Structure 1
Amino acid sequence: MRRALAVAVAASVLLAAGVYARANGLEQERASAVAELRALTDQYHDAGQRTDYLDGAVARAERDTADRASVLAVRPAFLTEIAALGTALERAKGMVDTSAHLASALSAQQTVLAEKVNPDTVTAATATVHALVDKVGTEVASWQAAQSSGPGGPAWSTSGPDGYARVRAALDLVGGGGVGLYESSSCAGGNAPACANSNGYIKYRADIVNWSSGRLNWAMAHELAHIYQFRVWGALTSSGAYGALFGNDPEFLANCMAVVRGYPGSVGCNGEQQAWASGIWVGAVR
């Protein structure tokens, strides 16, 4: 009897141990399963975040590509206007001061080069350059019209046709062919023998037809210099070098410009002044 009880107790202990071992094994399996589930959940979460990031990156890239394409689509029109302005500026050389127009065009060009997103910015810059083309064309046309205009009346009166022809020949000789020339006693109220008008023509007093060739040539070179000054007047009067070298005196500058052309007057100028003055003859204000 005792033996049977002992066997039963031993079997019970073994069964309990087996149950415990099984339970412990199941717990370990559960823990492993939970850990694996967590790992899978983390991986899924990471994958979802990567997917969201990639989706966002793709969307941003698509928007950026579309923006750049829209900007590139309107750039050819800008380049066309820039080319037209280049032609207009070249044509205007020696006629009108285009330094401010060129600065505006360069500013518009920098704006277009920097723009990557908004096509309206490029379109606005294109309109600006187109307006500059029109403005330069208008100014050139005005200058050309002024060459054939004068104070009214005949080109000469008391100086006679021969006297006029002599002054005309002097003006042509110093480079003023095509510049309007008219006899008038109105220069500085009659006190000046000749003067240049900002509209592009020169007036002379009748008595200068009797001047020596050297003096007459110098006078015409001097007045022609003023015509060229008028063409760059804005840039000239704002130039620090003009003030430093010539004291902002257009008469002194005109004398020096005449020297450069080979027609010295009674007032000389040094090499630095001559070098600077030579630029005005070609429309350059240094």
Structure 2
Amino acid sequence: MVSLPRIAPMLATPGRLPPPATEDQWGAEAKQDGQRAIVYLPGDGKVVLRSRSGADITAAYPELSALGDALGRPAVLDGEIVALDGQGRSDFERLQSRMGLVGSPAKAARMSEIVPAHLVLFDVVHLDGSSLIKLPYAERRTILEGLGLGGASGRSWSTPAAVVGHAAQALETTRTAGVEGIILKRLTSVYEPGVRSPAWIKIRNILVADVIVGGWVPGHGRLTGLPGALLVGERHEGALRYAGSVGTGWTQRERATLAELLQIAASAECPFGTAPPVAGARWVLPRLVGEVRYTTRTRAGLLRQPSWHRLRPDLAPDDIA
């Protein structure tokens, strides 16, 4: 059994597509919406999974224990634990039922039958007693794909291929498929443990929705008297259905403008068909329309990772279906 070094995961920075002339310098991988994991395989059949923070999460995912015997070599791999929906896409909402079960092995075993976890492998940083972090990404990918950890039937792990030279096409493919986005990785880049590096670029497929403001939550500290978050909704079968809480995306000036508009529209009654369980909420008449950006929706219709984009004074609430 080989002693394995603890390695913090390399992180990506938000960015944009590279110019077409330099696309061939980047590899594109689908961005997974799950729990990052560094996988330690000592070579004796054991598997240790550590989260981005370094916490041991092995017990939460018993179905991944077979990976050690499947590889049969000492290695440290990088990947993402996901739960797949009916279309084979990562679904963070499903995975949440599996996270946090480290201290409940029996429940984790039961849940593995109901919501099976899947490990998407995308890097190898240590193999057979040798560090690979100084090798270029393209070479590490070749080594990874040669380990035989593909997505065979019945396996709880896979090694999806990376696309080289077609970043824009890869992003459009993920958008059409309803996937969150892509991670671009410079082919010549080394692995930088614990570093948020511009050599890895994450690009999300951002969606846009017009929403109606139905309430707000006051901010604290320097935001006292200003909105800390807006409670927004969409019309559904004649009622205003809660769509989520938006707490980012404003400049200080825009936040002050919104505060004035919210005070004018103040109401004692909740405008949502079903009041959202938000502590300290203040209600307003549902007449302010805004545009928000978000990544995906939960099965309940809530916006995930919403960010305020702008007011829409050109739209009336009745225009929002």
Q: TM-score, normalised by structure 2?
A: 0.20
Q: TM-score, normalised by structure 1?
A: 0.21
Structure number having the greater helix percentage: 1
Structure number having the greater strand percentage: 2
Highest RCO, 1 vs 2 (Cα 8 Å, sep ≥ 6): 2
Work out which of the two has the higher radius of gyration on C-alpha atoms and give 1 or 2.
Answer: 1
